[in-house]
Structure formats: C-alpha cells, structure tokens
Amino acid sequence: MKYVDEFRRGDVARGLAARIAEAVQPGRSYRLMEFCGGHTHAIARYGLTGLLPAAVQLIHGPGCPVCVLPIGRIDSAIELALQHGAIVCSYGDCLRVPASNKLSLYKARALGGDVRMVYSTADALQIARDNPTRQVVFFAIGFETTTPPTALALKTARAEGLRNFSVFCNHVLTPPAMQHLLAAGDAVQLDGFIGPSHVSTVIGSAPYQAVADAYAKPVVIAGFEPLDVLQSVLMLVERINRGEAGVATQFTRAVTTDGNATARAVVAETLVLRPTFEWRGLGQVPQSALAIHPDYADFDAELRFGLPYRHVPDHRACECAAILRGQKQPQDCKVFGIVCTPDNPLGSCMVSSEGACAAHYHYGRFTAPQEQPA
Amino acid sequence: MSHYPRKLDLAHGRIDMTHGSGGRAMAQLVDELFAPAFRNDYLAQGNDQAILPPPGGRLAIATDSHVISPLFFPGGDIGSLAVHGTVNDLAMGGATPLYLSAGFILEEGLPLADLKRIVDSMAAAARDAGVRIVTGDTKVVERGHGDGVYISTTGIGVVADGVQLCGSQARPGDAILVSGTLGEHGMAVMSQRENLGFASPIVSDSAALHTLAAALMAASPGLRLMRDPTRGGLATTLNEIARQSGVGMQLQEDAIPLQPAVRAACEFLGLDPLYVANEGKLIAVCPAAEADAALAALRAHPLGRHAANIGQVVADPHHFVRVRTPFGGERLLDWLAGEMLPRIC
C-alpha cells in the first residue's frame, strides 16, 4: 500500500534501532513520554519497545480521547439518552467507556436509550434532519483533531436552522495537559516528549514552544507510523545528548509551524476556552478544554438540557489516573487483566485501542510471564 | 397455480401481515415464489417435514442464522450467504453437504422483488453447491421489527469413514494454512453501509468451500482440522482453536495474504483486517510434513489460489496467538473484545 508500507519497513526499522542503540550514552536516562494514544497503539502494535535499548523508556501519556473523559461526562451523556429521550450520537470508542451504576452508553442503549455510533459529525447532522421531532445531541469528544468537525457542525446547524440539533462539547486541548503533567507536584521524571501527530496537523508545532521552553524539554512531533515513532526517538535521544530543548517536527509531511488556519478559524468562531475542566487522571486542568461560544449557545446541549456536572471518583482499585500521568504502567495495576479486561473494562484506559491498558492487553501481555492464563 | 385469482405481484408487491397468517396469501407466497425456486422431490412432497433416504455414513448437522445489513452487497446477498454459511460449517468437519432447511423471518413492507432476488440467489447457490433445500418456514413480523429479512438455515451432510477432524487436534509443530486473502466479506459489506459511503472495488468472498475442503483432505491425510474464519476473522478463529487444542500459535504477519484494497480500507477506518469477517476462506491445521502438499492442493483449486502457510502451532500454556511483525517485533493477536470499533484519533 503506497504511502503506508514505506513507513512500516522492517529493514529501515532495524537500521533506526541500531542508530538509536549507538546514540544512547551510558549512564544517561531517556524517559520519553508519547503523548498520544495513536503512538501508544503503534508502539504496542509493532512491538517497538523490543527494538529499543533498555536506557530508552517509553512512558504512556494521557492522549487517548476516551481515556481522559471523566465519568461524570459520560453519566451526562447517558442522562441525555435515558432521561431526556434524546438521540445521542457518539464516536464508536465512546460507547463502551464505563460510567456510574455499571452503565455505559452501550448499556444505556440496551435499556432503551437511543444511542447511535457515527463516523462523523455529518452523520449526526443527517440524523437530526431525518428526525425533526426528536432532540439529537452530538457527544463531542477528543483533542484538537476532532474539534474542527464539531465546529463545522455547529456552523452548519445554525445556517440550516436545525433547531433539534445540539452539541455536548467535551473537547480538550493538548498543550495545557503537557504543561500540567510537567508542573504537577508528583510529576513523573521526563526527558522529552514524542509530540502529538494528528493534533499538530491542526494546531501546528508552535503551541508546544512555550511548554518546551518553560520546562527545558525537547518535543519532537511524530507521525503515527512505526518508523515515524522510531525516527522521533532517535531525534529525541540526539537532542537529550546535546542538552537541547525546544520543538522539532519529524512529521514534516503533514505538520507545519502554524497548522491548518481554516480549521483553527472555524474553531475560534464557534468554541471558547473553559476556565477549567476535569480530566480523568489529571483532575481539574485550567484552560484545557473548550465550550460552545455564546454566539452558538442555542446549540449547546449543556444549556439546552441544563446538565449539571458531577464529579465521580474512579473505581478504588483502578490505576487509570496514575497510568494517565505516566506514573504507573498497566501491569502495575492489581486489576489489570484479571477484573479489568477489554470485554469488561473497569477503567477507561482498558476501553479504547489507544488506551495504554488495552494496547498492552491486546498486543503485549505475553511479555509478562507471571500472568495467569485467561 | 390456478388456486389464486391473481398472481403475486413480484414487480411492485410487498410483504404484508397476511403472508405470515397461515392462510391463502401465505400458501401463494410459497407456491409462486419459494417452491419454484427451490424445486426438488423432497420439497415437492408438500408435507410438514421432508423424509430423506438413509445417508451413507455419519451425519453432520450445522445451523446458522443470517441477519445482514445491507441485504445485497458486492459479491452476494443474504440468500447466497445463508447457503454458503451453513454449507461451510458442514464442510469444515469434512462433511459432504446434502440438504438444507431454511427459515425466513420477513418484515412487513419488504418488496417482493427483493425477496424474489434473494430466493433466486439462494436457489442458485444451493444448486452450485449441490445441496437441496428440502424444508422451510416463513414468518412475518411487523414493520420495524426486522431488517427486511432474516434467514436461518440448517444443513445436513455426511462424513466419510475415517474422517476425524476436530478443533482440539492442533499439535505443536503443525502448520497453519489459510486458503486465501482475508477480510473481503466484512469490508465489502461495510463499504455499502450508507453512513460510511466509501467507494471500493472490494467484493465479498462468499463461496461454498466443500470442494476446496475435499481437495485439501485428499492431499493431507493427517489433516487435523479446518475452520472458516467468519465473524471475528482470522484472529478470533485461531484463538478458538488455540484454546480448544490447548496450544499456542506463532504467525508471520507478512505471510498473511491480504488484498491491497482491503488493507487500504481497514487502514482508512482504523480496523484490523485480521478481525474482519470472511465467508469463503478456510483455515487448516496439518502436520508440518504435509504442509507443502496441502498448500499445493489449495492453490490448485480456484477458491484457494492465494493460499498461504502463515505460521505454526507451538506449545504455550497461555494459549496465546502471537504474530511476528515485519519489524522483527512480536505482538499478541488477541480475541476480539466487544464490537470492532473504529478509532477516534
């Protein structure tokens, strides 16, 4: 497959791995956080950890859209479906995230809620057009990658006067989360970031500069293909050796300094910064999420349905919070693979294939020989 | 056909509740639509059951329900699928398929033209596979209570003496073969779903596998087992075999045959083709010494031209199916968890 196979070549991977092994300096640690779930998935899917020298440690970050969504937000989406009788449209991964009372959007559907999986906001708009007598809510989640389509849906709904459509906005922002991770009192020791891929196609590489400068860390924006990740690791190792901070881009085929101006403009027109937002694992993070712009208040599901936000604590045994902060690995969690499995997830990291726990469970758990057979 | 004042309107008519009432409308549907298509001596007996001659060996029986949306897709439809699915379940046990029963759940409002097309396709698939549809049933449910039509088929076949295939017989060292490129059925169906709307040249692989299975059995006398990797794809089927046989598996990812269009469509949607359904492929496990002959027999058959040896059975108390990636890394090919969902980012 053209433009894909080139980025998955084993011979090139081995060449890069050899160069990384050569570049690594004795006595130095290279603790690299891959921010995005897309990277976590690629690392697990292609067995990249096994190609790296022991000195290079990859630490999973919080960049998995469904993983960082707090339980209270899923509860609200379920409430929209069950109590308000709305058609709730959501991206597929969201449906299985465990919420309060042993519910999920999937289980809400089995209880009679009208929950529909969509592939794009255009599908949600079409559902609203097709069901003029029903309230249709798009459950908007994700980082800057999925934000422009939500923004466009708001514009379209307003232009068409689609009164039965609204958006329950939960979009979150990457740079504030990186800063929060580095600033936290219990911050995990990091030597560099494998920076977001698709997110950066929208926002560009510039927004990471402030974080990189403030904490003197190198950030290398990396594509999601396995060779992208390996090349970025090499770039980070070289920068760490030179003591060089700042932002560099490996994913040059898609990322520019300023990103996609059209997409950023439509987001700026329809969405505004929230003063603070709860992230699963990270807690309240200031200026880290978007709400619907007052000009589009008519399409804001939180206002239309008067949704109150309630904080809901994680399951006691679940280590998702520490895993999302990079402090623990999935296998450090007592319930990993025993009570918490992809079929019956306790925590959000076990849900999406981009979640650290699900990625390790699906692709890597044979590397932990102490586990009991399933 | 003179019992009915007017013939069924197969061009513009639709299923209504009277077609399931047990009355004259139902009889007419059977007489004018089902019976002529499936015509055979046993069905012609016109009784509540088909009485069949004694079979020449052990009986195999398999049942399969078909609930596919859309009803028509590139490479087939629910009718041909309902035949192939059950024929293949029989064939994977080494049986020669002989007879099918067919139960239809029809939704009020289904165009008779669609039903006719499905029934004709089913009849053609049965004819090609050399099986006869000898008994059947139709029910009608109210509009909104079904997806147009559901078809449940049960098949009977006969297993020759000495044939002993079983999912528990894989042994460390055995070779794992697949009969061709994977994932075409699932991706052909998915490409037709209205909310995906991507154009693709992918055609379902839906086909009856019993002649391919017979060729394989002739070439590999020590054949351990065959399975058709339908729902859940190759990954799920291999995990089932690994658990049933109490073994592990080691695959070579670059040996697994995939059409470029399937790889591209899966890439596009964030799906793994190894979890995507097939309806015309088989997986075989055979002793390593017979692998070359088995592979040659598969490749000599029109349905097995792209057959490949994809790995081997290994001893593993965890029953893991592992895949060596072209990178030289290794990953687990796990059971499918929940429903296969596209990734967000």
Find the angle CA(A279)-CA(A283)-CA(A285) to the nearest 5 degrees. 75
Q: Tell me what pLDDT residue B194 has.
A: 59
Q: Tell me what pLDDT residue B257 has.
A: 98
Mean pLDDT of A32-37: 93
From chain A, the residues in CB contact with B257 under 8 A are none
Where is pLDDT greater, at B46 or B252?
Answer: B252
Q: Tell me what pLDDT residue A344 has.
A: 84
Q: Tell me what pLDDT residue A24 has.
A: 97
CA-based nearest residue to B307, from B319, B317, B293: B293
Where is pLDDT greater, at B131 or B332?
Answer: B131
Q: Tell me what pLDDT residue B1 has.
A: 47
What is d(CA A56, CA A60) in angstroms, rounded to the nearest whole number? 13
pLDDT in tens, A204-243: 999 999 999 999 999 999 999 999 999 999 999 999 999 9
Q: Tell me what pLDDT residue B329 has.
A: 76
Mean pLDDT of A146-168: 98
Residue A374 pLDDT exceeds 60: no
pLDDT in tens, A67-81: 899 999 999 999 999
Mean pLDDT of A257-262: 96
Interface ipTM > 0.95: no
Q: A372: pLDDT confidence band, cut at 50, 70 and 90?
A: very low
The torsion defined by the Cα of B341, B178, B205 and B134, in degrees rounded to 10, comes to -110
In the three-class reduction of DSSP (H, G, I as helix; E, B as strand; rest coil), residue B38 is classed as: helix
Q: Tell me what pLDDT residue A369 has.
A: 41
Q: Is residue A125 part of a domain?
A: no
Q: Is residue A331 part of a domain?
A: yes
Mean pLDDT of A173-189: 87
**Cα atoms in the Cβ-side hemisphere of radius 13 Å centred on B213:** 28
Express as a percent the part of chain B with pLDDT over 90. 83
Residue B50 pLDDT exceeds 90: yes
Q: B345: pLDDT confidence band, cut at 50, 70 and 90?
A: low
Query: What count of CB pairs under 8 Å joins A to B?
Result: 117
Measured between its terminal Cα atoms, the distance across chain A in Å is: 36
Mean pLDDT of chain A: 92
Q: Is residue A343 part of a domain?
A: yes
Express as a percent the part of chain B with pLDDT over 70. 96
Residue A371 pLDDT exceeds 90: no
Where is pLDDT greater, at A341 or A21?
Answer: A21
Q: Is residue A254 part of a domain?
A: no
- How many domains is chain A partitioned into structurally? 1
Selected residues 272-311 of chain A with any CB under 8 Å from a CB in chain B: none
Q: Burial code of A297-331, b = ≥16 C-beta within 10 A, e = fewer?
A: eebbbbebbebeeeebebeeebbbbbbbbbbbbbb
Give, for A149, the enclosing helix (H) or strand (E). helix A147-160
From chain A, the residues in CB contact with B344 under 8 A are 65-66, 91-94, 141-142, 146, 352, 354
Q: B339: pLDDT confidence band, cut at 50, 70 and 90?
A: low
In angstroms, the separation between the Cα of residue A243 and the nearest Cα of chain B is 30
Mean pLDDT of B156-175: 97
Where is pLDDT greater, at B275 or A5?
Answer: B275
Range of the domain at A343: 320-363
In contact, A118 and A91? CB cutoff 8 Å: yes
Q: Quick one: B214 exposed, middle or buried, by C-beta within 10 A (0-12, 13-18, 19+)?
A: middle
Is the backbone peptide bond immediately before B70 cis, with ω within 30 degrees of 0?
yes
Q: B343: pLDDT confidence band, cut at 50, 70 and 90?
A: low
- Looking at the domain covering B175-332, what would its CATH class be? alpha beta
What is d(CA B212, CA B8) in angstroms, rounded to the nearest whole number? 40
Mean pLDDT of chain B: 93
Q: Is the CB of A44 less than 8 angstroms away from the CB of B328? A: no
Mean pLDDT of A299-303: 98
Q: Is the CB of B327 less than 8 angstroms away from the CB of A51? A: yes
What is d(CA B256, CA B251) in angstroms, rounded to the nearest whole number? 8
Least confident segment among A117-131, A171-185, A266-280: A171-185
From chain B, the residues in CB contact with A92 under 8 A are 339, 341-342, 344
List alpha helices for chain B, DSSP H. Answer: 24-29, 35-38, 41-44, 78-91, 112-129, 184-192, 210-219, 233-245, 260-269, 291-300
pLDDT in tens, B181-228: 999 999 999 888 756 666 778 999 999 999 999 999 999 999 999 999
Domain positions in chain B are: 17-159, 175-332
Residue B94 pLDDT exceeds 80: yes
Q: Which of A119, A228, A230, A352 to mutate to test the interface with B (most CBs of B within 10 A)?
A: A119
Q: Is residue A335 part of a domain?
A: yes
From chain A, the residues in CB contact with B331 under 8 A are 44-47, 362-364
Mean pLDDT of B307-318: 97
Q: Which of A143, A366, A367 to mutate to test the interface with B (most CBs of B within 10 A)?
A: A366
pTM of the predicted structure, to 2 decimals: 0.87
From chain A, the residues in CB contact with B341 under 8 A are 92-93, 95-96, 117
Query: Which of A45-59, B13-27, B227-241, B256-270 shows the highest mean pLDDT?
Result: B227-241
Least confident segment among A312-316, B226-230, B340-344: B340-344
Considering the domain delimited by B17-159, tell me its CATH architecture: 2-Layer Sandwich (3.30)
